[in-house]
Amino acid sequence: MRRVRFRDPAGSVRNGEWTDAGIAFGGETYDPDDVDVLAPADPSKIVCVGLNYADHAAERDKDLPERPLLFLKPPNAVSAHGDTVTLPSGKDRIDHEAELAVVVGEQCRNLTPEDAMDAVAGFTCADDLSNRDDQDREQNWVRGKAFDNSCPLGPVLATPDEVPADAAVRLRVNGDLRQESSRDEFIFSVPELLAEITTYLTLEPGDVVLTGTPAGVGPLSDGDRVEVEVEGVGTLAHDVRIP
């Protein structure tokens, strides 16, 4: 099943099912173009994983990590399918990063790899927008990763059974393919990531874990259209505005 949060024409926030015919809720079916699609989660935090694909580590000239490299994005980073994301101005390079995102379904701590998937509500698409100007100058990546709306999510929350173990992850800018890989190229699997993260902190329902990006990251320009596709989830689309 693929669930979607949306605001109907009356302004009410609803939780429906994304079907081939449209968004189904309460006996009605809505055209996705006629409603506001909201981010599929409202996280208290977004836990991000760096360098979880070997090819991306190579393009960033980084050694492969011995354990997951973790950093955080705050709730203000969330934006949604169809949004126009305003990026920081005056920067030489702000990159796109296509990612499979995990949405947590229950409060959890000290998970093991064997039971970690029981805590997963589903998967969605994400774009980990990255301000390289500042990321490469600072240690904790606050300016580089945590700026407003730097984490577009969506369009739906797909239950784990919908997303193959080797699900493809792709990103296009203005229709041109920039990134393409698959979930089975992870250095650390989803269960391993959840076990490591919950060793140190409690994950709450709705929290999001970004699993890393493959090679092909690149700069964005004012007016660009970005599409992130994850097999089994669908396609997250957003526009870019640079003042």
- CATH code, domain carrying 127: 3.90.850.10
Alpha-carbon distance of 144 to 132, in angstroms, equals 6
**Total count of domains within the chain:** 2
Quick one: 160 exposed, middle or buried, by C-beta within 10 A (0-12, 13-18, 19+)?
middle
**Do 134 and 27 belong together in one domain?**
no
The pLDDT profile of the chain, 243 residues, written as one tens digit per residue, is 999 999 999 999 999 999 999 999 999 999 999 999 999 999 999 999 999 999 999 999 999 999 999 999 999 999 999 999 999 999 999 999 999 999 999 999 999 999 999 999 999 999 999 999 999 999 999 999 999 999 999 999 999 999 999 999 999 999 999 999 999 999 999 999 999 999 999 999 999 999 999 999 999 999 999 999 999 999 999 999 999
**Do 16 and 81 belong together in one domain?**
no
Alpha-carbon distance of 30 to 178, in angstroms, equals 32
**Do 105 and 184 belong together in one domain?**
yes
Chain center to CA of 77: 11
